C-alpha cells in the first residue's frame, strides 16, 4: 500500500520473517528484544500513527499504547482474554484513540473483502489435505502456523 510504513511486532520469529517477506519495513520480537519500543520510537520519529493488534494476547494490548505517537490510533482486532485495560487520562488528553472492527459475521465480510481488493492485499495461504486437519489445528494452537491455512478436498 502506497504511503504506509508497515512494522511487524510478534514473539514468533517465523511470523516476523513472513512479515518481512510480505514487505514490512522492520520487525521486532517483543519477547527477545527488550529495547524494541525505543527502537520503534526512533525508527518512526515518535511512534506509529496507527497500531493494529491482531493478537488475542493481553500482553500485546498492554504494550501497544507505548508504540503509538501522540494523537495516533489503537485498532482493536484480536479479542483479548481479559477486558481491555486503558488509561482514561490518555484518552481524555488525546494521547491516542481506540477503534475496533469485526468481520465476524458474513454480512460484515463484504467491507473487508472490498478493502482487500482495493489495496491489492494478497494473503499468504498454505493448502493442506483433509487428512492433515489435526496437524493444522495443532500448528495453529501452538503458534507454528505463519500463514492462512486452507483444506483442499
Structural contact between residues 72 and 40, judged by C-beta atoms closer than 8 angstroms = no
pLDDT at residue 120, rounded to an integer:
81
- For residues 62, 68, 74, 78, the Cα torsion angle rounded to the nearest 10 degrees is -50
- At a CB cut-off of 8 Å and minimum separation 6, what does 44 contact? 5, 7, 69
C-alpha cell at 33: 528484544
141 CB-side CA count, 13 A: 6
Structural contact between residues 68 and 93, judged by C-beta atoms closer than 8 angstroms = no
* Overall pTM > 0.85: no
d(CA 112, CA 17): 25
d(CA 140, CA 15): 12
Tens place of pLDDT for every residue, the chain, 153 residues?
456 789 999 999 988 998 999 889 999 999 999 999 999 999 999 999 999 998 889 999 999 999 999 999 999 988 888 999 899 999 999 999 999 877 667 777 787 788 778 878 788 899 999 999 999 999 988 888 888 899 998
d(CA 98, CA 76): 7
CA angle 73, 102, 8 (to 5 degrees): 50
- For residues 134, 135, 141, 146, the Cα torsion angle rounded to the nearest 10 degrees is -140
pLDDT at residue 44, rounded to an integer:
95
39 CB-side CA count, 13 A: 12
The three-state secondary structure class of 7 is: strand
pLDDT at residue 3, rounded to an integer:
65
Amino acid at each position: 500500500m502506497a504511503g504506509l510504513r508497515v512494522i511487524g511486532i510478534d514473539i514468533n520469529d517465523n511470523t516476523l520473517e513472513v512479515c518481512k517477506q510480505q514487505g514490512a519495513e522492520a520487525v521486532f520480537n517483543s519477547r527477545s528484544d527488550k529495547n524494541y519500543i525505543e527502537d520503534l520510537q526512533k525508527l518512526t520519529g515518535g511512534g506509529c500513527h496507527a497500531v493494529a493488534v491482531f493478537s488475542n494476547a493481553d500482553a500485546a494490548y498492554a504494550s501497544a499504547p507505548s508504540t503509538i505517537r501522540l494523537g495516533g490510533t489503537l485498532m482493536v482486532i484480536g479479542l483479548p482474554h481479559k477486558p481491555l485495560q486503558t488509561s482514561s487520562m490518555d484518552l481524555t488528553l488525546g494521547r491516542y484513540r481506540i477503534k475496533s472492527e469485526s468481520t465476524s459475521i458474513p454480512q460484515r465480510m463484504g467491507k473487508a473483502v472490498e478493502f482487500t481488493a482495493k489495496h491489492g492485499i494478497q494473503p499468504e495461504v498454505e493448502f493442506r489435505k483433509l487428512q492433515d486437519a489435526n496437524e493444522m489445528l495443532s500448528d495453529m494452537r501452538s503458534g507454528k502456523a505463519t500463514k492462512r491455512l486452507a483444506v483442499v478436498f
